[in-house]
Chain A
Amino acid sequence: MSEHTESKDRSQLRQKRMIADHFERLSRAKEEGKKVVYTFVPGNLTELIGAFDMLPVLPEINALQSGMRKKSAGYIAEAEKSGHSEDVCTYVKCDIGMLRSGNIGPTGTKLPEPDLLLLSYTGCFTFMKWFELLKQEYKCPVVMLHVPYQPDGVITDEMRSYVVEQLRTEVIPAMERVTGTRVDVDKLAAHLSLSKQAEDDLVAVWESARHRPSPIDGYFGGVYYVGPIFSSFRGSHDAVMYYRELREEVEARVARKEGPMAPDGPVKEKYRLVVEGPPNWTNFNEFWQMFSREGAVVVSSTYTRVGGLYDQGFRHDPSHPLDTLADYCLGCYTNLGLPSRVDLLAKYIREYEADGFLVNSVKSCNSFSVGQLLMLRKLEEKTGVPGGFIESDLVDPRYFGKANIENRVQSYLQMLEARKARGTSADAVVSP
């Protein structure tokens, strides 16, 4: 095994161990008296949950894991059989189906029932319905944290204060009731401090993609990089270690001028892309290979910012625990108005010197998808860089049309190739 492979494996192995340990802890939670909180990725309050020694479960992560493990089709069918419409979010149906099928988690052990449903209503209307549905299934309290939307890309004092007041008067008291302990502000601050360290290293990883070749794939590879910080580990020593190792590995790749690793080996960078929208999970590797085989590397993506826009300067601030949690929740990518999303994508396209940008529009996610066709036009106008558009779904394999997607990706990349060959200037825009 080469030194490069050993180095790469270190962070991967750590992440794998972290996940296994977490699910192991969850499987013992009830016997050890640990309280379990179900919550969402955007606007998650992992540090606060950690300060109460509670264990988080993230239904979105379970759903995407079910998609990757080819279980989601059955779960969705189960939910549809019980009256859920084919029109609605497949994450929700996958979760409901998984619950009705025994609630077996990604590591094969049964997930514990929640002691608290923490409904962080951030950037996605469906979250609210999702936990109203789960409320019917579990006899446990639900606490709602309504995070206002940022239509103009500005966090106002009123928004922040609304979130802080809900944390103070609703969320923390609910956690105190469930755990029987008072909030330990010092412990919360300590977790926030660890978050900040991990966030610094994650940003360095993202920004490494400015190099040519990019040492990372900031979308397909990126979803693995955000795993710990988006889920149960932000604010932990494990996460700090993971991101330190990952950063070292990426910096070593930069020094060696290596491109990213894909499922079928190293990628020789030919096209640099920015991607908007979540990936498809049911055929994730096939989807990635459609790009990696053609030398298309994603240098930046917006899906990897749904759990926090750290590369735009946000860091958890231990000296203002509640304000910083509020700002974090308010600042998640899908909580931004469309004009702000266009501005951010344009910035990525320019700063990462992308040859093109691609929208993967998923049926399940209106929060992401509504407006993407207009975003595409506006981005082309703003940047002169051509956009491409493909459609799939998060975890419903019925909406992954491999041949269709592959054709579109290939035509798009051929168009980029033709532009390169012609030395086309940025003002000649072609849309596939």
Chain B
Amino acid sequence: MTDPAAPIFERARALVDDYTLGAVKAWKAAHPGALAVGHMPVYTPRPLIEATGSLPVAVFGGGDSLDIIRGDSYFQSYICHIPRSTVELGLGGHLDALDGMVFPSICDVIRNLGGMWKMLFPQKYVAYLDLPQNFDKDVGGRFYTSELRRIARELAGRGARTLDADALLGAIARENERRVTLEQLDAVRRAEPWRLRATEAYVAVRAGSVMPAEEHTRLLREILAAVKLRTARPVDNVRVVLVGSFCEQPPFELIRALEKAGCDIVEDDFQLGMRMIDGPIEPCAGEDPVEALSRAFLERGRASASRYIDRNEKGADLVARVHACAADGVIFAAASFCDPALLDQPMLEAALERAGIPHTSFKFAENTGQFQVIREQAGAFSDAVKLWGPAGAPVAAQEASV
């Protein structure tokens, strides 16, 4: 029987693979004078950009299909890959459709890339967004709202619509709908991973990088409807949570290799920024929506490597997520030289070990081309969990690097 979801995923995959941003160019042609604003991982509040009449575009580097020629000459060998391919995209003119770029605080690499962007593309708008590490609304919140207002003001200075409360409330409502639909998609994946593979969920989310929230919601709903019609059969795989890929993205084929090795990825942090806030953003009565956006980040921003964990125990969130999605184990998949992920990992591993949750780890680069070692490692991990169960499986496997 023909897969009813196949044409939709094909469409979504084409959007993901198109690093020349054809969809963004089409959007700009349909919205003359409006801006398209790129943003790097991990998190930039997209409703803010949408509320200025602009299109937020999540940029995740060039993946594995872009030859890096000039990008490498800007970075030493010990720097991760995403800045190389992003510079390559910029210098190659592939990001010309973007009128500006936002570089949120995640690590020193992305931060400094923002400074490089200013020097390489002086005609473009470049903003550094300092996400607060103080989560008191009167301290970190006040600073963060000033950051958000500054960016909106600067975009208006470049021709975007002046930010107003109604427009932002509308954008927040559309974002909430997108998030609800995304949660429905995640629920399908958790309940019946054979019905919606991790590779497919990945494409579904990432396709939203180049479209407004409303359009992404429509796409996600189409996908949801189609996958429900599938006649899929359960597969005896282990259920894993994958962490560490929140910035530089693994090659698509690497995710597929994990699946082929017998792992159902029922939760992940790929493209974490698209689901950074847990639950909806809910402005209180009379509350300035900029403050609501800020409050959502302060109170319900997901625990991640780029966020200071002030009160909870490090790794507690990961353990809770493993339990919530009934996962059997965790795969750490960090990009090589990714400071946030790799410095976080020993603490998260310790938390998993305390909770008796097995885990394994490997490193990748976005242009990794060989997956055999990883596939074998994931296969061995999957077998161990299946044979001995979570409690009996070795809690740590050797780190592999490709």
Contacts and interface: CB of A to CB of B under 8 A. Distances in A.
A124 interface: yes
Contacts of A374: 74, 116, 119-120
5 contacts: A87-B339, A158-B143, A337-B118, A338-B112, A366-B112
Interface residues of B, number: 59
A314 interface: no
A326 interface: no
Interface stretch (A77-85, A219-227, A287-295): A77-85
A371 B117 CA distance: 10
A162 B142 contact: yes
Contact of B308 (A89, A128, A151, A169): A128
A121 B143 CA distance: 16
Interface in B103-130: 105-109, 111-116, 118-120, 127-128, 130
Interface stretch (B7-15, B132-140, B323-331): B132-140
A316 interface: no
Interface in A346-388: 361, 363, 366-367, 369-374, 378
Closest 4 CB pairs of A and B: A338-B115, A129-B343, A151-B128, A146-B133
A170 interface: yes
Nearest to B120: A374
Interface in A144-186: 144, 146, 148-149, 151, 158-159, 161-162, 165-166, 169-170
A151 B114 contact: yes
A112 to B, nearest CB: 24
A366 B108 contact: yes
B309 A132 contact: yes
B309 A125 contact: no
B108 A125 contact: yes
A241 B291 CA distance: 50
A371 B143 contact: no
A371 B76 contact: no
A119 B111 CA distance: 19
Interface in B124-177: 127-128, 130, 132-134, 136, 138-140, 142-143, 146-147, 150
A136 interface: yes
Contact of B128 (A126, A149, A162): A149
A99 to B, nearest CB: 13
Which has the most chain A C-beta neighbours within 10 Å: B113, B138, B146, B336? B146
A86 B183 CA distance: 37
B336 to A, nearest CB: 6
A136 B350 contact: yes
A85 B398 CA distance: 12
B250 interface: no
Interface in B213-229: none
Contact of B146 (A124, A158, A370): A158
Contacts of B142: 158, 161-162, 165
Nearest to B122: A339
A361 B147 CA distance: 32
B347 interface: yes
A343 B109 CA distance: 20
A135 interface: yes
Which has the most chain A C-beta neighbours within 10 Å: B109, B339, B342, B349? B339
B308 A133 contact: no
Contacts of A121: 133, 308
Contacts of A151: 114-115, 118, 127-128
Contacts of A240: none
Nearest to A170: B134
Contacts of B309: 132
B127 to A, nearest CB: 8
B388 interface: no
Nearest to A399: B78
Contact of B342 (A88, A128, A144): A88
B339 A373 contact: no
Which has the most chain B C-beta neighbours within 10 Å: A128, A161, A170? A128
B140 A162 contact: yes
Which has the most chain B C-beta neighbours within 10 Å: A149, A342, A378? A149
B340 interface: yes
